[in-house]
Amino acid sequence: MRYHLAFRLYKIPPQSLPTLKNYFESTTFKPILFNTFQGKRKINLHFEIKKTSENDYGRKIELYLDRIIFVPKKDEEKSPLKITPTYSMQLFCGQEYFDNYLIIFGNKGIDFSIRKALTKYVESVTHTSFDSLITVRPDFDKLTDLVNEFPNLQKFCVKDVGDDQIDDMVLRGNTLEKTPNFDRYALNDQTKGDMNFVGLSNNNKIIFMGRDGSFYSRESYDKTNVAELIYNFLSRLEEIKVLKTNENLENFS
């Protein structure tokens, strides 16, 4: 089976590690109830682990997650409908890099709901309030190291460019790291903006990496080898020290 990639990487902090690892490694999984709001309307949602299985990189976790979609009705406003698809996560443990880190697959809405559910569970067990997962983000101050490790930059987006005629810009092409525009808008302290995302060439496929910690690719990947692919890709980033967490990356949003 082949599919596209979309994921985020999280560090599990010491405060929530015992609780989450016990939950992920359990043989019975208690559902987690949480809520969201659509306008002023509160909607109760449900998270439940379907099953887990060990693999070479830790543990694959399959889960049920309530989602809200809006169904159009004739001559009426769209009506909310609750559905419960399955999603997945990957717990990295026992590896050289990313020991006790969690991959959440899916778009930002899925990611937000899963984090909210897990945080509520940890708080219910520990009776304390804190971030149960810490987002891992790229440090784009190290762009030179990044493009040296991943030559043939395919695409990048820069926000708030220091140019009277340009606010934001997106450039596509090959070996963009060698172009004057990359030097001017991504590296030069006088004219550069805020890097929003880059498209890195990894094994002849493009993986996009955003400053909010999102990773995605529109290309087709073998689902059976996804843990290996992601771990190897992230390990290259870790070796050149371009991944940071909220704990040690100031003023990054």
168-192: pLDDT as tens digits: 889 999 999 999 999 988 998 888 8
How many domains are there within the chain?
A: 2
Whether 13 and 108 share a structural domain? yes
The DSSP line for 193-226 is: -EEEEEEEEETTEEEEEETTSEEEEEEEEEGGGH
> Which residue range is the domain that position 144 belongs to?
137-245
- The residues with which 147 forms a beta bridge, in sequence order, are none
In a shared domain, residues 121 and 143? no
In a domain, 252, yes or no: no
Shared-domain flag, residues 124 and 151: no
Q: In the listed set 75, 104, 132, which residue is the last one of a domain according to the structure?
A: 132
Taking all residues of the chain, what is their mean pLDDT, rounded to a whole number?
Answer: 88
Quick check: is 200 in a domain?
yes
CA distance linking residue 176 with residue 22, whole number of Å: 46
Residue predicted with more confidence, 68 or 7: 7
| Confidence (pLDDT) at 250 | 36
Asked if 127 and 141 sit in the same domain, the reply is no
Is 241 part of any domain?
yes
Q: Do 20 and 123 fall into the same domain?
A: yes
Instruction: Examine residue 250 and state whether it is found in any structural domain, yes or no.
Output: no
> What value does the mean pLDDT take over residues 100-104?
96
Please tell me whether residues 60 and 142 are part of one structural domain.
Answer: no
Domain boundary, last residue among 132, 166, 200? 132
Q: Are residues 18 and 119 in the same domain?
A: yes
| Cross-strand pairs, 10 | 102, 135
Q: Look up residue 64 and give its two tokens.
A: 């049920």
Tell me the helix, strand and coil percentages in the chain, rounded to 5.
25, 45, 30
Domain final residue pick, 107, 132, 157: 132
Does residue 119 share a domain with residue 171? no
Average pLDDT on 54-76 reads: 87
Contact predicate 63/89, CB 8 Å: yes
In a domain, 251, yes or no: no
The reported pLDDT for the residue numbered 253 is 31
| Max Cα–Cα distance, the chain, nearest Å | 60
**Same domain as 171, residue 110:** no
Mean pLDDT for 153-171 is 82
pLDDT band at 82 (very low <50, low <70, confident <90, very high): confident
User: Has residue 169 been placed in a domain?
Assistant: yes
Question: Does the structure show a pLDDT above 70 at 163?
Answer: no
- The residue assigned the tokens 């790229």 is 138
**Residues 127 and 155 reside in one and the same domain:** no
**Same-domain check for residues 168 and 117:** no
Question: Six-digit token pair at 142?
Answer: 């190290």
Report pLDDT digits (tens) over 223-252: 778 999 999 999 999 999 999 986 543 332
To the nearest 10 degrees (0 to 180), the angle between helices 17-24 and 108-126 is 110
Q: What's the first-to-final CA gap in the chain, in angstroms?
A: 35
